[in-house]
Amino acid sequence: MAKRLGAWLTDRWPFVPVWKAVMVEDIPGGSSYFYSLGSAVLFVFIIQAVTGVFQVFYYVPTVDHAYDSINYLRTQIPLGWLIHGLHYWGAQAMVVLAAIHLSQVFIWGAHKKPREFTWLLGVSNLLLILAMSFTGAALPWDVKGFWATEVGTSIAGTVPLIGDFIKRLLRGAEDMGQLALDRMFATHILVVPLLLAGSVLIHLVAFRRKHAAGPWSERKRRTTTGVFWPDQLLKDVILSCVVLVVLLVLCAWSPAPTTGPADASDLSVQPKPEWNFLFLYQFIKAFKGPFEPVGTVLFPLAAVVFLFLVPFLTRTQERDPLRRPLGMGLFLAAWAAIVALTVSGALSHPGQGPSAASSKVAPAGGPAPKAGGQAGASEGSSLFQSMGCGDCHKVNGRGGAVGPDLSNEGSAGRGESWLAEQIKSPKSHNPRSIMPAFGSRLTAAEIQSLAAYLSELKGSRAGTTAEEKPAVKAPGSAGQVKPAAPKAAEEAAPSPGAPAKGSSQAMSQGVALFKSAGCIGCHKVNGPGGNVGPDLSEEGGKRTVEWLAQQIKDPKSHNSQSIMPAFGSKLEPAQIEALAGYLFSLKQAPEAGPAAKPSAPEEAKKEASEAEGAEVPPQPNVPQAEKTPGADALPETGPAAMMIGDAGHGAILFQQTCVRCHGPEGTDKVPNPGSDDGTVPPLNPIDPDLKSADPAVFASNIDLFIQHGSVPDGPKPALRMLPFGDSNTLTQQAISNLEAYVLSLNHVDRTRIMHPGIPPKIFVLATVFCFVVAGWILWLLVPIKRKTSPPPRP
């Protein structure tokens, strides 16, 4: 029956010729695992195709669901973690194996005539694999993929003349959004895979047409011959098994990282490309200003062209690597450069490059910056003042004490690039830094000027004053605070949030003090201001005037961990009262009353007691809509509750946003006078009622508080939880990261696989066991037969 079916089929389709074309092939010099590398790439390509197709059954290519859909597959669908993990690690393996395969071909000299065309297709395949890697990274729409795509497409935009056109072609729009994701999706699942499949097929046909090159030794090629079927194919399959097992082990023991949902507005993110583009990322850093396209476009393009031309650059047929010193030298140098750049790219934090080495050495003992020594230094000096740097940093005896004294910063050997990076993104040097990132508020040139100015600060800390050295004019600081002069009051109205005109003298004084005492250096009021401390635009709606006055006088009395300087000794009581009165007048909506009419401290006190006495909202402040009597309506969690955030990034956000009230790592019992508990509820350990072993439930429980805020029970709680979600103070992505962090503090992993089907490690161990047993049995059989029966010549 089987024979008849076989005959029927072979009569209708050329199975035998096709089988022969694919399988019957001499291997000069005998089969080798080195020759299996190409097959290993093909095998991983098949894994990618299979897992890719099955991911598409769940993946949704929209900016609002892409991230959640892929996490749903990973955490909620049995064995979904495996499909996703294999695809993630397969992508990495494909790049590695393709690069090794290409290197092997080069070392063996197998790219030379008559196999140039096979080489050309191989290089095309490598480029297409990199294109898959690039377009695939965008699809989860997570932090890493988003920024990789943002920067990658922007790099394409730096191509002279046609850059904008290419960028538009890649993104489908001006910015990174739905259209860009659509493009990446279509390119990743249709365009590039089809091109790659075609290119691989032509590559294989070309390979068969000119046959395997075999070893470089002429003698070995002549004296020994193996066959593709079954000798080489068995080696190919064995290597494929090894690759599969390695991928499985990676899936179980090192799952694909969760970098959190993409959030373009999150300034604390440090975008870095995937490891396989790190060498380019690091390389690009060497080219600045107008030369940037040299690094981003010209050099990579030249390298690709060079790679294509490799087989045509020499006419010699010599294949022995030891007799090709130039070619092998260049090859090794290229690999050394790629490895070195990748490693340094992995280790570097943006801008931290050759800082000390490149820093300009100023004449020793020069106490003040050289006038005009740096083009931007004087501009930097004025920026130092206007940006409020001096509110936190001392220079030559003047300035705040929040940050380190910078009087001698130029002698610290850090260099301008380090300083520029510190200004741009202080967390890149120290994740716990409380300094605000100025990367979004200053242009690159301004940052450079500031860095230039700081690198020239080599004055002695004692005995020099700003007055003596005009170039280091110290900015307004706490030490300079005086009762605000009328002129200052006019200048100081910091924002639209300032009370209406015609406010009392105390109010004007408060407004002026807010700027002159340096508050604005750390706090925002309706726009302008720093972000070291909380935004005070609506502060009046949250605190009493007494609480505010106390906070200005001695912040540690409310929170022992507060980093805010105490102004009790720097301001007079009347000034503190004026400042507190001003802050109390900052309320949100005009209809709320107090915000519309500026309230003097005495009036404010009255309003505060009235307002706070009246409200006893539930905890959390869940909106009342949709609640049905006698029924449990779904709690109104925000979108963040459904997102799987990144706990690592949440820790950074926690430090910026939550630590003041909840203490470091949520452990502190920060005093909250006026509340029944007397302290802010700790988050670590959290209230057991909120905790759940199911990360989604746990996240939902705390999401209610973060979204809507809450007011603690008690007569007059001084602190209340702000509605971070409702007020858009935090994005939903940021909230999801914070939730993941709070979960991690309570030993619950937000990324936990809820429905693994088979637990990852057990699945992998069972699979490895099957492979080992099968391999062992085959091993016992094959060598015995080998001794008695060597293969026939085909």
Partner 1 sequence: MNGEEPRPPADAAVTRRHVLASAIGVLSGLIALVLGLPSVVTLVGRRAPKSKAGRFMKVAALAALPDGQPVNLKYSEMVEKAYIRAPEMRDIWALKTADSKVTVYSPICPHLGCRYGWNAEAREFMCPCHGSVWTADGKVVAGPAPRPLDTLPTKIIDGDLYVEWELFEVGTRAKIVM
Distance CA 378, CA 368 (A): 12
510 closest CA partner among 595, 598, 592: 598
Pinpoint the alpha helices (H) of 24-138.
Answer: 37-56, 66-76, 80-107, 116-138
Residue nearer to partner 1 on the CB measure, 322 or 780: 780
User: In the bound complex, what is the minimum distance in angstroms from residue 95's beta carbon to partner 1?
Assistant: 20
Residue nearer to partner 1 on the CB measure, 109 or 638: 638
User: In the bound complex, what is the minimum distance in angstroms from residue 71's beta carbon to partner 1?
Assistant: 7
Residue nearer to partner 1 on the CB measure, 19 or 291: 19
Residue nearer to partner 1 on the CB measure, 12 or 785: 785
Residue nearer to partner 1 on the CB measure, 78 or 114: 78
Residue nearer to partner 1 on the CB measure, 148 or 256: 256
User: In the bound complex, what is the minimum distance in angstroms from residue 30's beta carbon to partner 1?
Assistant: 4
Residue nearer to partner 1 on the CB measure, 538 or 636: 636
Contact 55, 84 (CB under 8 A): yes
Residue nearer to partner 1 on the CB measure, 159 or 241: 241
User: In the bound complex, what is the minimum distance in angstroms from residue 787's beta carbon to partner 1?
Assistant: 10
Q: If you count them, how many residues does the chain have?
A: 794
Distance CA 150, CA 262 (A): 11
Residue nearer to partner 1 on the CB measure, 237 or 481: 237
Residue nearer to partner 1 on the CB measure, 305 or 634: 634
Classified as helix, coil or strand, 238 is helix
Write the DSSP symbol of residue 412.
G
Distance CA 644, CA 141 (A): 12
| Block residue for tokens 């500031």 | 450
The dihedrals phi and psi of 741, each to the nearest 5 degrees, come to -70, -45
Residue nearer to partner 1 on the CB measure, 365 or 629: 629
Residue nearer to partner 1 on the CB measure, 334 or 696: 696
User: In the bound complex, what is the minimum distance in angstroms from residue 726's beta carbon to partner 1?
Assistant: 16
User: In the bound complex, what is the minimum distance in angstroms from residue 642's beta carbon to partner 1?
Assistant: 6
User: In the bound complex, what is the minimum distance in angstroms from residue 79's beta carbon to partner 1?
Assistant: 4
Residue nearer to partner 1 on the CB measure, 590 or 757: 757
Distance CA 613, CA 591 (A): 19
Structure tokens at 304: 């690709």
Pinpoint the alpha helices (H) of 217-317.
Answer: 218-223, 233-253, 278-284, 292-293, 299-309
Distance CA 557, CA 553 (A): 9
> Residues 6 or more apart from 384 whose CB is under 8 A from it?
390, 395, 450, 453, 454, 475
User: In the bound complex, what is the minimum distance in angstroms from residue 504's beta carbon to partner 1?
Assistant: 48
Distance CA 722, CA 719 (A): 9
> Residues 6 or more apart from 50 whose CB is under 8 A from it?
none
674: left (phi over 0), alpha (psi -120 to 50) or beta: left
User: In the bound complex, what is the minimum distance in angstroms from residue 24's beta carbon to partner 1?
Assistant: 13
User: In the bound complex, what is the minimum distance in angstroms from residue 760's beta carbon to partner 1?
Assistant: 11
Distance CA 285, CA 345 (A): 10
User: In the bound complex, what is the minimum distance in angstroms from residue 333's beta carbon to partner 1?
Assistant: 36
Q: How far, in Å, are 106, 324, 325, 713 from residue 220 at the CA level?
A: 18, 19, 22, 87
Burial class (CB in 10 A: 0-12, 13-18, 19+), 765: middle
User: In the bound complex, what is the minimum distance in angstroms from residue 629's beta carbon to partner 1?
Assistant: 5
User: In the bound complex, what is the minimum distance in angstroms from residue 73's beta carbon to partner 1?
Assistant: 7
Residue nearer to partner 1 on the CB measure, 514 or 705: 705
User: In the bound complex, what is the minimum distance in angstroms from residue 639's beta carbon to partner 1?
Assistant: 7
Residues 523, 527, 531: CA angle, nearest 5 degrees:
30
Mutual angle of helices 444-455 and 377-386, in 10-degree steps: 100
Residue nearer to partner 1 on the CB measure, 23 or 294: 23
In sequence order, the β-bridge partners of residue 721 are 710
Residue nearer to partner 1 on the CB measure, 79 or 563: 79
Classified as helix, coil or strand, 395 is strand
389 closest CA partner among 308, 339, 334, 447: 447
The binding site for partner 1 (CB under 8 A) comprises 30-31, 47, 50-51, 54, 57-58, 65, 68-69, 71-73, 76-80, 82-83, 86, 223-226, 230-231, 233-234, 237-238, 240-241, 244, 248, 626, 628-634, 637, 639, 642, 755, 757, 767, 770-771, 774-775, 778, 781-782, 785-786, 788-793
442 closest CA partner among 530, 355, 371, 367: 530
Residue nearer to partner 1 on the CB measure, 309 or 778: 778
Contact 565, 401 (CB under 8 A): yes
Mutual angle of helices 647-657 and 732-745, in 10-degree steps: 100
User: In the bound complex, what is the minimum distance in angstroms from residue 275's beta carbon to partner 1?
Assistant: 25
Residue nearer to partner 1 on the CB measure, 247 or 435: 247
Q: How many C-beta neighbours within 10 Å does residue 33 have?
A: 13
Distance CA 84, CA 75 (A): 10
User: In the bound complex, what is the minimum distance in angstroms from residue 189's beta carbon to partner 1?
Assistant: 16
> Residues 6 or more apart from 334 whose CB is under 8 A from it?
none
Distance CA 474, CA 621 (A): 46
Q: What is the largest CA-CA distance in the chain?
A: 108
| Block residue for tokens 């790679």 | 307
Distance CA 356, CA 369 (A): 18
User: In the bound complex, what is the minimum distance in angstroms from residue 136's beta carbon to partner 1?
Assistant: 18
> Residues 6 or more apart from 145 whose CB is under 8 A from it?
137, 138, 139, 259, 262
User: In the bound complex, what is the minimum distance in angstroms from residue 34's beta carbon to partner 1?
Assistant: 15
Q: Is the dihedral of CA 85, 91, 94, 100 positive or negative?
A: negative
